[in-house]
Structure 1
Amino acid sequence: MRYILFAGLLALPLLGCGSDPADDDDAAATTTSTGSGGTGGAGGQSPGCAQTAAPDVTDVSGTWAYRAVGSQLTQAQGLPPFQTRIVSVMLITQQQTGDAISLQGTYCDHYTEDPDAIVHAVIPDSFREALAPVAREGTFAASEGGLRYKLGPLYEVVGAALDDSAQDDLPADPADARVVDQDEDGHPGMTVQLQGLIDGSVYVAERARTELDGVAVATDRIEGRLGFASEQSVLETDPPSLKATMVGSRTYPDPEECNSTFVMVRVPDAADCAWIKERADTLFQ
């Protein structure tokens, strides 16, 4: 029982926010592929969580605090699935020209919520601090039901340097020249800690794909659906015996798509990550 419960924990994608129900029987035991595509549910496509666009909001330029929550289920052999929420918080500066949007974002926080797990995946400060700033483009344009906020797919790779971030295979061997000690802790890839019934460290390379689709519900708030996909390769573990425990577990999307969402709240231009984190408990409510 101890082995099976732990195997489920190790299957978590740590930067991405979702998973794929497709069978991965032919995949390597140390790689977890996850994904959830589509345009998303907020703003009219998912009746249970659709939002109504505020008709007087026509420009979303400015400084914003962003919080994305991806919900997924992890299934270990012989056990019921449990839910994990992966949360990313960013500071975003956004410009709008006509219908076109461009933005720059900096990670302020990145963590998991898995209250039902007996072994928790903990993202260290060094992991969060090593996440690169992002640049994205999208639109805030007329659609059925009002103006719709959309950001196209963004691929983020951590723990590896790929020529094609969207298509290249992730390295599976820590000796692969593409592996990068991105968090600079002396271990390959990025380090994730395990705490609980069993303690240890997992060194990973990962690719995440995110896509946003929502509406401005007020002049100072945008809400919507987070589309996502992620793929993770375990390079090494400490102790080494943990690597074998990846076999037999899988992750897949939370069937309630309204559980994977994003919120953006307009903040003062002088706001920084410290300002956002200090108010995070109430800022996104």
Structure 2
Amino acid sequence: MAFRTVGWSVALLLAVACGGDDDGRPMDMGTDAGAVTPGTDAGSVTPGADAGSVTPGTDAGTPPSLDAGAPPEGRTTTAPPEAVEQLVGTFALESRFATISMVPFLGDQRSVSTAWGLVTIEQVGETLQMTERGCHVETEGGSTMTTIPDAVPQSIPPRVATLEFLSEGGSLRWFRPEVAVAVGWEASSPADMLPQSADDPRVVDADGDGNPGVTVSISGLASGDVYVVQWQRGWYEGTLGGGAGTLTGQNHGGGSEQKTIGASNSILEMDVPQRPDPDTSDNTLQLVPVDAGMDCAGLIAAGDGLF
């Protein structure tokens, strides 16, 4: 498994329920390798304390070898009638993804990121189009407490993708194809390298807090705010059941990468290698039908009761 470099033990590879194309265009990395989703540009960037003193991470500026695998061949975007019946609607999304960080003096530390979001699936001609909006992200495990403000996932424009389908062994499988989302910076191509410092002109204040990139708060052996940029890459898959209701599946998010570009505490500026956990049992996905009028506030208030 290839290592990627991320900031401290920040499990901000947002599991995926956030991010996307700010002008609503479908984006399928499997068929359009030139497509890329920029993060929201909230205006000029004001680096935080020590933001100009950054320790470069190992290969942090090189797009990683995607560890997320790939969906099987033979997929089609033409939605079968049973897919239309079961998938069209509004859903609360919970996606989970497990990673392992190599923390100095502590060794491997496993953490699981859980992202909540809202999904709308609508029929467009013979296809089904999924739109995702991020609402909330939290992490568990590891050696530190990580606080990700809701402004972070909610600041990223919706992700739009055309679903794909494959009939196999009497079952109908569905796929949300891989997409690439630039978080905290503006990219022109999915092959672009991550910014290495806060003064890179591509860096934006995506969450509008006056600091470069997006801000995450860390508490533990060292505490403070960390400013990061990301490539989010991943895809979903699931198998349709016998009727409408909760859908479950797998979250393949191993192609994401992150770079720390500053911190309020210089200790937190170091990059810590992180890799997907080879035990993928926690890399799960749930889609629970909800009222079309539900917003992020309602989803967060409902909390674990939905899932």
TM-score, normalized by length of structure 2? 0.73
Pairs within 5 Å for 1:200-211: 200-211=224-235
Q: Secondary structure at the match of 2:163?
A: strand
8 Å contact from structure 1 (residues 182, 190) kept in 2:
yes
Pairs within 5 Å for 1:41-120: 59=85, 60-77=87-104, 79-96=106-123, 100-114=127-141, 116-117=142-143, 119-120=144-145
Cα deviation digits, residues 67-122 of structure 1 (max 9, x gap): 100011122355442221111111111023586320222112122222x42x2221
Counterpart selection for 2:209 from 154, 175, 185: 185
| Matched residue, 2:281 | 258
1:37 aligns with 2:68: yes
Percent of paired sites with the same residue:
27
- C-alpha distance 110-123 of structure 1, shift in aligned 2 (>3 A): same
Give, in whole Å, the separation in 1 of the partners of 2:195 and 2:6: 22
| Matched residue, 1:230 | 256
- C-alpha distance 32-187 of structure 1, shift in aligned 2 (>3 A): farther
| Matched residue, 1:139 | 164
- Aligned amino acid, residue 305 of structure 2: T
Give, in whole Å, the separation in 2 of the partners of 1:238 and 1:84: 23
- C-alpha distance 145-278 of structure 1, shift in aligned 2 (>3 A): farther
- C-alpha distance 56-176 of structure 1, shift in aligned 2 (>3 A): closer
- Aligned amino acid, residue 180 of structure 1: V
1:160 aligns with 2:185: yes
Give, in whole Å, the separation in 2 of the partners of 1:90 and 1:28: 31
- Aligned amino acid, residue 155 of structure 1: A
1:192 CA displacement: 1.0
- C-alpha distance 62-278 of structure 1, shift in aligned 2 (>3 A): same
8 Å contact from structure 1 (residues 106, 134) kept in 2:
yes
| Matched residue, 2:12 | 14
Give, in whole Å, the separation in 2 of the partners of 1:102 and 1:29: 33
- C-alpha distance 12-194 of structure 1, shift in aligned 2 (>3 A): closer
Give, in whole Å, the separation in 2 of the partners of 1:281 and 1:40: 30
Give, in whole Å, the separation in 2 of the partners of 1:195 and 1:31: 29
1:163 CA displacement: 0.8
Give, in whole Å, the separation in 2 of the partners of 1:173 and 1:135: 29
- C-alpha distance 157-202 of structure 1, shift in aligned 2 (>3 A): same
| Matched residue, 2:41 | none
| Matched residue, 2:24 | none
- Aligned amino acid, residue 36 of structure 1: D
Bigger mean CA offset, 180-189 vs 140-149: 140-149
Pairs within 5 Å for 1:274-285: 274-284=297-307
TM-score, normalized by length of structure 1? 0.78
8 Å contact from structure 1 (residues 73, 254) kept in 2:
yes
Give, in whole Å, the separation in 1 of the partners of 2:252 and 2:116: 16
8 Å contact from structure 1 (residues 39, 213) kept in 2:
no
How many residue pairs match? The answer is 253
Aligned CA RMSD, in angstroms, stands at 3.0
Q: Secondary structure at the match of 1:36?
A: coil
8 Å contact from structure 1 (residues 99, 141) kept in 2:
no
Give ranges in structure 1 of 5+ residues lacking alignment.
Answer: 1-6, 19-25, 42-54
Cα deviation digits, residues 139-164 of structure 1 (max 9, x gap): 24422341111010011111101111
Q: Secondary structure at the match of 2:298?
A: helix
